[in-house]
Amino acid sequence: MRFAQAFRVAFVALFALAAVGLSTAAQADSATINFRVIKGGWFIGASGGSGTLYFHGRRYPVSIGGLSAGLVFGASETRFHGTVSHIRSPYDVAGVYGAAGAGGAVGVGARMIVLRNEKGAVMHLYGRQIGLMANLDLSGLSISVR
């Protein structure tokens, strides 16, 4: 008899957690983002740029900064476009994003990346990279919303 009662309590608790999770996901929203990043380096790289976040019909300027370490050689400019999901406000986009990546461009190349910050915001980005760049590195990207 105790097993059946414990099973019912566990089932109700699991159902309640699932309901809370679904209501939280239902409240989350998404936005679009465009930004330009200039990256350069020799084993240690740095990047910086700016762009715009579009959320509920409003525009929010964003600043980008970052560091990378590993095999980094050259300089490039990338124009990213994409979406940001799992946010409730435009300020949820602000934060530090980490990534491990590999890529290269001689002249023009394509770039695609998925990033997540500590607030749970997920960015799906694609872009066009111009320059001379070869990289196999770990990088961190900091985004601030102004």
Domains in the chain, please, with CATH?
Answer: 30-145 (2.40.128)
Q: What is the pTM assigned to this prediction? A: 0.74
What pLDDT, on a 0 to 100 scale, did the predictor assign at position 73? 84
- How high is the pLDDT of residue 118? 92
Residue-level pLDDT at 104: 66
Along the chain (146 residues), what's the average pLDDT of each consecutive run of 10 residues?
A: 49 45 60 94 91 96 91 88 96 88 72 88 90 78 92
| Per-residue model confidence (pLDDT) at position 92 | 96
The widest CA-to-CA distance across the chain, in whole angstroms, is: 72
- With beta carbons less than 8 A apart as the criterion, state whether 84 and 30 touch: yes
